[in-house]
């Protein structure tokens, strides 16, 4: 069978479990800082399947955060890529100025030569992933372009991502059916799949002119906002994380169109609430219900914003619109 190493914090004293896990990750991946508010009874386990210089990492652990800093990179850099396929809960990652949330169905890539921060939600349950560690020297890729796609979620349910995810799952499952002579063959398959995945991502990115990429991204962001206007948690940080960009870059995109993120969200919420007030009578939809339906958390905040935009209260607008059969004045918008 393939060479398999097994580690579990259950073999350590409870007080030492978190430190043992950090030592394992730092020695087998690259030096990192792990953080946990409560170190009591930390639970984690991993199997390591050696495929020559490539290793597979089916891993489960409790929620925590992980940080690879410039100082740690200067101290030691194995020049590896780590690819993760989350199987249970989301993982929040920041690569430099770009941040994103990776969910089951995504592939997340880490470069040991670049700083990153990883965070798992508290009380979200245990995190399980299929991971792969692979030397960058084995991958004949245009690294000046690959670095631009690394922070982005790559699909694990279609294309090369699906092939890679299936390879990881099946190799881990069938480890006992392979012999030592199969390890180099599986290593070549792993290298080819990762190379194909990243090359395809680079090609897709390069096929778009910068202006087209910006327009496409902005259209996706506007569509996301439109579909989540009723969500009280719709914030610049949430919007940026969903699109795997920084809040700063998100704000820059909106500034290029002479608008702000929350200004646009508020405007669209007001416009939809105004349509609701025109469409539904008070007995069917109260002003307060219209406000909550469109993402406002406070009736008073909604009324103030509505008056500032349209020059009258929501109730006054509804009466005028239903009496005259048309929308009222649209001052300030």
Helix locations, 29-65, DSSP H: none
Residue 151 confidence (pLDDT) = 86
Q: Distance between CA 261 and CA 256 in Å, rounded? A: 11
Residues 8 and 141 in one domain: yes
CATH of residue 190's domain is 2.60.120.10
Say whether both 182 and 235 belong to one domain: no
Radius of gyration of the chain (CA): 25
Q: What is the C-alpha separation between 154 and 289, in angstroms, rounded?
A: 39
Q: Which residues of 50-73 are buried (b: 16+ CB within 10 A; e: fewer)?
A: bbebbbbbbbbbbbbbbebeeebb
| CB contact at 8 A, 285 and 276 | yes
137 and 18 together in one domain: yes
For residues 202 and 219, membership in a common domain is answered with no
Same structural domain, 220 and 301? yes
Last residue of a domain, one of 207, 236, 263: 207
Q: Are 111 and 144 in contact (CB under 8 A)?
A: no
Cα-based angle 125, 65, 85 (whole degrees, multiple of 5): 65
Task: Please say whether the beta carbons of 43 and 10 come within 8 A.
Answer: yes
CA 192 to CA 52: how far, in whole Å?
A: 14
Do 145 and 121 share a domain, yes or no?
Answer: yes
Domain that holds residue 95: 4-207
| Pair (153, 237) in one structural domain | no
- In this prediction, residue 204 carries a pLDDT of 73
Residue with the two structure tokens 């800082």: 33
Whether residues 55 and 125 share a domain: the answer is yes
Please check whether residues 96 and 241 belong to one and the same domain.
no
pLDDT in tens, the chain (333 residues): 788 999 999 999 988 999 999 999 998 889 999 998 776 789 999 999 999 999 999 999 999 999 999 999 999 999 999 999 999 999 999 987 778 889 999 999 999 999 999 999 888 889 999 999 999 999 988 888 888 888 888 999 999 999 999 999 999 999 999 999 999 999 999 999 999 999 988 887 665 556 767 887 888 899 889 989 999 899 999 999 888 788 999 999 999 999 999 999 999 999 999 988 888 887 888 999 999 999 999 889 999 999 999 999 999 988 887 776 654 444 445
pLDDT of 325 reads 62
Rama region for 137: left / alpha / beta (φ>0; ψ in -120 to 50; rest): alpha
Total domains, the chain: 2
Q: Are residues 45 and 86 in the same domain?
A: yes
Do 174 and 265 lie in one domain? The reply is no
């Amino acid at each position: 069978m393939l060479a398999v190493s097994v580690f579990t914090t259950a073999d350590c004293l409870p007080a030492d479990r978190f430190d043992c896990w950090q030592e394992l990750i730092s020695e087998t991946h690259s030096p990192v800082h792990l953080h946990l508010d409560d170190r009591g009874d930390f639970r984690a386990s991993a199997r390591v399947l050696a495929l020559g210089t490539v290793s597979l990492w089916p891993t489960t652990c409790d929620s925590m955060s992980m940080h690879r800093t410039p100082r740690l990179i200067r101290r030691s850099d194995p020049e590896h890529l780590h690819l993760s396929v989350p199987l249970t809960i989301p993982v929040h990652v920041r690569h430099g100025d770009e941040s994103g949330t990776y969910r089951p169905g995504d592939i997340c890539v880490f470069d040991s030569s670049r700083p990153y921060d990883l965070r798992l939600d508290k009380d979200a349950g245990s995190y399980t992933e299929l991971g792969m560690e692979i030397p960058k020297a084995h991958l004949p890729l245009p690294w000046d372009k690959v670095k631009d796609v690394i922070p982005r979620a790559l699909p694990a349910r279609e294309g090369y991502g699906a092939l890679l995810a299936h390879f990881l799952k099946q190799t881990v499952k069938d480890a006992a059916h392979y012999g030592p002579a199969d390890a180099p063959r599986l290593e070549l398959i792993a290298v080819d799949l990762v190379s194909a995945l990243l090359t395809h991502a680079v090609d897709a990115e390069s096929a778009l002119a910068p202006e087209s990429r910006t327009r496409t991204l902005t259209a996706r962001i506007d569509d996301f906002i439109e579909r989540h206007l009723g969500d009280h948690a719709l914030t610049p940080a949430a919007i940026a994380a969903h699109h795997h960009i920084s809040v700063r870059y998100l704000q820059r995109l909106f500034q290029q169109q002479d608008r702000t993120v929350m200004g646009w969200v508020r405007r669209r919420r007001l416009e939809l609430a105004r349509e609701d007030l025109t469409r539904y009578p008070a007995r069917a939809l109260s002003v307060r219900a219209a406000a909550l339906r469109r993402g406002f958390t406070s009736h008073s905040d909604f009324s103030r914003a509505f008056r500032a935009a349209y020059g009258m209260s929501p109730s006054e607008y509804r009466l005028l619109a239903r009496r005259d059969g048309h929308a009222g004045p649209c001052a300030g918008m």
